[in-house]
Amino acid sequence: MKKLLLPLLLFLLVETALPQQVFNSLELIKTIEVEGRQGVAVDSNYYYVSGSKAIFKYSKEGKLLLTNDNPFSSLTKEANHLGDIDYYNGKLYAGAEYFYDGSASNIQIVIYDAETLEFDSFFSWEPESGQQEVCAITVDPKNNLVWMADWIDGSYLYKYDLTNGTYIGKLHIYPVPEKQQGIKVYKNQILITADDGDAEYEESDHLYAVSILESESSSKVSLIKTFNDVKRQGEIEGLTIDGIENTLIVHFNRGMRVVNGMPIGFYPGYEKEIHELYIYKIVD
Ligand SMILES: [Ca+2]
Ligand SMILES: [Ca+2]
């Protein structure tokens, strides 16, 4: 028996050190065209979509129900950009910032009422954290945290107290997904979308995951999905998980040529950029 014990212990150690499988498989159910090119959140009845300067509320059938096209009007610190958003407990959480000439300032966690889309409150960011930009936000109720991701330097995910907005610390992730766009907490992991495929060369973007390990300062990134099933390669944006419908929802933009972060016209067959939600059934 003792001869078996050591290999068994080693096996268990290796098994627990590996990241758990997030999805057995994902089946694309449908796509919904939306306004807004940044992110998505969901509650039991509605989808919420963020544009750079607006928030939209949709039925799950894709009908536009409400728009807030002035989301910065109640802020004391100037902002001109929203990233990927999240829903928690009747509120929408958004990362807002003033983005100009490739750099960001006035990063803040802005909270909106999900029913009305009106401003509710905000938390300021901690500049000493080293965070340079906010591309996405996700609420982590289990750990009482709000997490933020950084498009400029994605080496860390930054965490704040969900109750009072105090900066808690940061999680080093490796290897770093390039051009992060969205984050979402799911099963004690953080899912990350990255616009790391170049649409000029028909390259796919990707979904990654890192485990939330409270005892560790760093966490290994695992590749979860390659988006080779989109209508045309473009820019992946935010994501969310619908726990009621058991779906993964990923926001994509296609049609606009973006080179070095600058829009330079459209691909053949396109007269405008198309924003879509891809809805995938999660097969556990
Ligand atoms: Ca989201
Ligand atoms: Ca891309």
Nearest-5° Cα angle at 71, 67 to 116: 50
Confidence of residue 214 (pLDDT cuts 50, 70, 90): confident
Distance (Å) of CA 61 to CA 32, 159, 237, 244, 277? 8, 34, 20, 15, 11
| pLDDT of 20 | 56
| pLDDT of 17 | 45
Q: Return the ligand number nearest the Cα of 93.
A: 1
| pLDDT of 245 | 96
Q: Return the ligand number nearest the Cα of 179.
A: 2
Q: Side chain identity at 200, as an amino acid letter?
A: E
Asked if the structure places residue 17 within a domain, the reply is no
Range of the domain at 71: 24-283
User: CA 21, 25, 30, 33 torsion: positive or negative?
Assistant: positive
Distance (Å) of CA 110 to CA 56, 70, 84, 164, 244? 15, 13, 12, 13, 25
Asked if the structure places residue 197 within a domain, the reply is yes
- Residue pair 275/33 in contact (Cβ under 8 Å)? The answer is yes
Does the bond joining 263 to the residue before it have cis omega, within 30 degrees of 0? no
Measured in angstroms, how far is the CA atom of residue 82 from the centroid of ligand 2?
19
Measured in angstroms, how far is the CA atom of residue 113 from the centroid of ligand 1?
16
Q: Which residues surround ligand 2, an ion (CB under 5 A)?
A: 195, 197, 199, 205, 235
Measured in angstroms, how far is the CA atom of residue 41 from the centroid of ligand 1?
5
Asked if the structure places residue 11 within a domain, the reply is no
CATH code for position 93 = 2.120.10.30
Measured in angstroms, how far is the CA atom of residue 4 from the centroid of ligand 1?
46
Instruction: Work out the average pLDDT over 73-98.
Output: 97
Measured in angstroms, how far is the CA atom of residue 40 from the centroid of ligand 1?
4
Measured in angstroms, how far is the CA atom of residue 197 from the centroid of ligand 2?
4
Asked if the structure places residue 220 within a domain, the reply is yes
Measured in angstroms, how far is the CA atom of residue 204 from the centroid of ligand 2?
6
- DSSP states of 63-127 as a string? -EEEEES-TTTT-SS---EEEEEEEETTEEEEEEEEEETTEEEEEEEEEEETTT--EEEEEE--G
User: Which has the higher per-residue pLDDT, 13 or 55?
Assistant: 55
Long-range pairs, 89-92, Cβ under 8 A, ≥24: 89/141, 90/114, 90/115, 91/120, 92/41, 92/48, 92/55, 92/117
Measured in angstroms, how far is the CA atom of residue 198 from the centroid of ligand 2?
5
| pLDDT of 18 | 46
Q: Which residues surround ligand 1, an ion (CB under 5 A)?
A: 39, 41, 84, 86, 238, 240
pLDDT in tens, 226-263: 999 999 999 999 999 999 999 999 999 999 998 877 88
pLDDT in tens, 168-196: 999 999 999 999 999 999 999 999 999 99
Asked if the structure places residue 264 within a domain, the reply is yes
Asked if the structure places residue 16 within a domain, the reply is no
Q: Which two tokens stand for residue 39?
A: 């992110």
H or E stretch at 32: strand 25-34
Asked if the structure places residue 12 within a domain, the reply is no
Confidence of residue 107 (pLDDT cuts 50, 70, 90): very high
Number of domains within the chain = 1
Asked if the structure places residue 6 within a domain, the reply is no
Q: Which two tokens stand for residue 264?
A: 């330079």
Measured in angstroms, how far is the CA atom of residue 202 from the centroid of ligand 2?
8
Measured in angstroms, how far is the CA atom of residue 72 from the centroid of ligand 2?
28
**Other C-beta atoms lying within 10 Å of the C-beta of residue 170:** 20
pLDDT in tens, 15-71: 444 445 799 999 999 999 999 999 999 999 999 999 999 999 999 999 999 999 999
| pLDDT of 209 | 97
| pLDDT of 1 | 52
Instruction: Work out the average pLDDT over 212-237.
Output: 94
Q: What does pTM read for this prediction?
A: 0.92
Tokens 């209508």 map to which residue?
231
Measured in angstroms, how far is the CA atom of residue 239 from the centroid of ligand 2?
15
Measured in angstroms, how far is the CA atom of residue 228 from the centroid of ligand 2?
11
Measured in angstroms, how far is the CA atom of residue 179 from the centroid of ligand 2?
9
Q: Which has the closest alpha carbon to 278: 222, 243, 223, 240?
A: 240
| pLDDT of 16 | 46
| pLDDT of 19 | 47
Q: Which two tokens stand for residue 119?
A: 């401003």
- How much helix, strand and coil, in percent to the nearest 5, is found in the chain? 10, 55, 35
- 219/232 Cα distance (integer angstroms): 32
pLDDT in tens, 142-164: 999 999 999 999 999 999 999 99
Q: Which has the closest alpha carbon to 87: 240, 228, 205, 231?
A: 240
| pLDDT of 10 | 55
Q: Return the ligand number nearest the Cα of 206.
A: 2
| pLDDT of 3 | 61
Q: Side chain identity at 63, as an amino acid letter?
A: K
Q: Return the ligand number nearest the Cα of 258.
A: 2
